[in-house]
Structures are given as structure tokens and as C-alpha cells.
């Protein structure tokens, strides 16, 4: 297991706070931003696009600044950051993968959203998720930290993110459903596990692959498709699995990973 200190250098975030206190994973804003700003953009380009060029069509300067801050909190918006650089690299591969891909990235950056993952995955498809159940989950983890009003808003934001990602459906009555999982999502999940120290078969048993809710055979097939698309290198012979991620890391990042 890679230490949390090194994981943070790659872009993972830990601790008790998270963007979902104020916002959802902001899928619409992220999609519009990436459509408006080239993949080669730096952090100043993203900030200018949001705050000055107003590509997200926000009404006030304050709203634009807050939107920029929350998007940075959730996604980084800096190609020097390992997680964001490779999110941006994979984004244009398959638009159908965007909802789950954004959720995968948000989970690496928001501990409050991450807290809810097991709750969502334990729900059978077709089960209704009352908002109060998510409130209780958060309140049990952080007793007396949030006011009732904030707790309600946080639970609504978290449930909205899972809805946008395709794990829930419905506006006020949230029902568990099955998300659309693409080879890009499997490639990103495997890579997240790799950044945390998993290799070989263990890459298919991390929290990131469990999120995708696919049997081992399906994950292997999707990983193989990702390999055919050049998203990773995939070798599977008998009981041996070898997966590598060419050009995902700089030399310095590789050295940091293998310290």
C-alpha cells in the first residue's frame, strides 16, 4: 500500500472535509469546461475560462469564483497533478464514460463522497434510498459536526452525484440502478488501484474496481478492450495478469511510486 502522503502528491485527498458540503460533482460544468478549454491547458487557462471568459455561463463574478474553487477542489484542474492530467487524457476517449469517470475522480478528492460509496453499493437495484438514510450515515461518522440544515444539503448533494453518475435514478425519490460502465472507466479504476500499490490480480479487488459492480470476467473483458484501445497494456495468460500504464506517469512520479 502506498502511503497517504505519496497518494496526496498524486492528487488524492483525505481528511474530514469535501466539496459536497456545497456542490454535487458538477458534471455539467466539468463537461462544458472541457469542451471549451483544450487538453493542453494549464491551471491559469482554466481559471481564466471560468472567471473571466465565463464559459460556464454563471451570472455573477462571485458565482464564477466559487464555481472555479469547487471545480479545483473536486478535480484539480492542473496538468501537473497526476490524477487530473490522466483524467483529462481519458476524457475525450468515450463521452458515454463521462458520468462514471467524473464520479471516479470526485471519489479520489472528496472524503465525504467516498464515505457514501459502500452505502450505495450495498443497495440492491430497485431499492429506494431515502435521503434520511444518507443523513444518518454522515451523522454517525461525524456526530454533531453538521447542523440539520447542512446535513440535509450534504445528503442531497451526495445523492445527486450518484444520480448523475448513473447509480441512482429519480428526482426526489431515489432508486438504485445499474450504471453504464465502459472500458475507459475500467482503465481509470485499475490505474487508481495501481497508484495505491496494487498490481496483477489485486488490481481487480480495489475499492475502485468494486465501484464498477462488474464480475471478474466482465472486468477482464473490459480491461482487454481498454488494452486494444491503447489505454493500457494488458497481458493475461492462465493465472497471470500483467497490466501496465505507459505514459501515465512522469519519471519523477514513477520514482515516487516505487520509493
Dump pLDDT digits (tens) for 168-216: 999 989 999 999 999 999 999 999 999 999 999 999 999 999 999 999 9
Q: Which CATH architecture has domain 111-176?
A: Orthogonal Bundle (1.10)
Q: What is the pLDDT of residues 29-83, one digit of tens each?
A: 999 999 999 999 999 999 999 999 999 999 999 999 999 999 999 999 999 999 9
Are 169 and 217 in contact by the 8 Å Cβ rule? The answer is no
What's the confidence (pLDDT) of residue 172? 87
Residue 129, phi then psi, degrees to nearest 5: -110, 100
Set of cell numbers at residue 248: 501515465
Distance CA 226, CA 188 (A): 10
Map out the domains of the chain as residue ranges.
13-92, 111-176, 183-257
Phi, psi (deg, nearest 5) at residue 13: -125, 140
Q: What was the pLDDT predicted at 237?
A: 85
Window from 100-104, 123-127, 192-196, 237-241 with minimum mean pLDDT: 237-241
Give the H/E segment covering residue 175: strand 174-176
Q: 221 — alpha (psi -120 to 50), left (phi > 0) or beta?
A: alpha
Contact 235, 246 (CB under 8 A): no
Distance from C-alpha of 150 to C-alpha of 73, rounded to nearest angstrom? 19
CA dihedral 125, 140, 16, 115 (to 10 degrees): -10
**87 with 25: CB under 8 angstroms?**
no
| Burial class of residue 142 (count of CB atoms within 10 Å of its CB; 0-12, 13-18, 19+) | middle
CA 218 to chain centre: 21
Task: Indicate the average pLDDT of the chain.
Answer: 96
Task: Return the CA Rg of the chain.
Answer: 18
Helices and strands in the chain: count of H runs, count of E runs? 13, 5
- The overall pTM is greater than 0.75: yes
What's residue 259's pLDDT? Answer: 80
Amino acid at each position: 500500500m502506498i502511503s497517504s502522503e505519496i497518494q496526496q502528491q498524486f492528487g488524492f485527498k483525505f481528511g474530514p472535509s469535501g466539496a459536497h458540503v456545497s456542490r454535487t460533482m458538477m458534471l455539467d460544468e466539468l463537461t462544458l469546461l472541457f469542451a471549451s478549454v483544450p487538453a493542453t491547458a494549464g491551471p491559469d487557462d482554466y481559471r481564466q475560462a471560468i472567471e473571466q471568459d465565463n464559459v460556464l455561463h454563471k451570472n455573477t463574478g462571485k458565482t464564477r469564483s466559487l464555481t472555479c474553487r469547487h471545480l479545483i477542489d473536486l478535480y484539480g484542474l492542473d496538468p501537473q497533478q497526476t490524477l487530473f492530467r490522466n483524467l483529462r487524457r481519458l476524457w475525450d476517449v468515450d463521452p458515454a464514460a463521462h458520468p462514471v469517470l467524473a464520479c471516479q475522480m470526485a471519489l479520489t478528492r472528496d472524503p465525504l463522497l467516498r464515505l457514501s460509496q459502500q452505502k450505495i453499493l450495498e443497495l440492491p437495484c430497485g431499492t429506494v434510498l431515502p435521503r434520511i438514510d444518507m443523513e444518518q450515515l454522515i451523522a454517525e461518522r461525524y456526530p454533531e459536526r453538521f447542523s440539520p440544515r447542512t446535513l440535509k444539503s450534504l445528503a442531497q448533494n451526495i445523492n445527486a452525484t450518484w444520480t448523475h453518475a448513473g447509480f441512482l435514478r429519480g428526482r426526489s425519490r431515489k432508486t438504485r440502478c445499474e450504471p453504464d460502465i465502459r472500458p475507459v472507466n475500467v482503465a481509470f479504476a485499475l490505474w487508481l488501484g495501481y497508484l495505491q500499490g496494487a498490481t496483477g490480480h489485486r488490481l481487480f479487488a480495489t475499492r475502485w474496481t468494486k465501484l464498477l459492480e462488474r464480475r471478474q470476467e466482465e472486468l477482464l473483458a473490459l480491461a482487454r478492450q481498454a488494452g486494444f484501445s491503447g489505454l493500457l497494456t494488458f497481458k493475461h495468460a492462465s493465472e497471470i495478469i500483467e497490466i501496465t500504464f505507459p505514459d501515465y506517469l512522469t519519471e519523477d512520479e514513477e520514482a515516487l511510486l516505487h520509493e
